[in-house]
């Protein structure tokens, strides 16, 4: 399952959530403004920036502000590994 790091006001996050829903891709949302550890993780994979949406995959890899096409490609590549 994916973890989406987000904020309540992020338009890109809302768009990606609706696309994931439409594709039937499961995920959980963590608000980095409510969870300090989540904010620290996001900064650790984004050069110190709190860039959202940041997705973390089960294998520990991450994508920052991906398109739904990027997400599908990443999931397909992980499935082939």
What whole-number distance in Å separates Cα of residue 30 and Cα of residue 10? 13
DSSP 8-state symbol, 52: S
What whole-number distance in Å separates Cα of residue 54 and Cα of residue 74? 13
- Nearest CA to 9 out of 52, 45, 48, 56 is that of 52
- Where are the chain's structural domains? 2-80
What whole-number distance in Å separates Cα of residue 60 and Cα of residue 34? 22
Per-residue pLDDT of the chain (81 residues; tens, 9 = 90+): 899 999 999 999 999 999 999 999 999 999 999 999 999 999 999 999 999 999 999 999 999 999 999 999 999 998 887
| Architecture in CATH for domain 2-80 | 3-Layer(aba) Sandwich (3.40)
What whole-number distance in Å separates Cα of residue 75 and Cα of residue 41? 21
Can you give the pLDDT at residue 60?
93
Can you give the pLDDT at residue 81?
72
Pair type for strands 54-56 and 27-31? unpaired
């Amino acid at each position: 399952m994916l973890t989406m790091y987000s904020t309540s006001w992020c338009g890109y996050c809302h768009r990606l959530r609706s696309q994931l829903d439409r594709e039937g891709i499961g995920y959980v949302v963590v608000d980095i403004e409510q969870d300090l550890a989540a904010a620290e993780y996001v900064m650790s994979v984004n050069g110190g920036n709190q860039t959202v949406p940041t997705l973390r995959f089960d294998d520990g890899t991450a994508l920052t502000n991906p398109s739904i096409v990027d997400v599908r490609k990443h999931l397909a590549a992980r499935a082939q590994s």
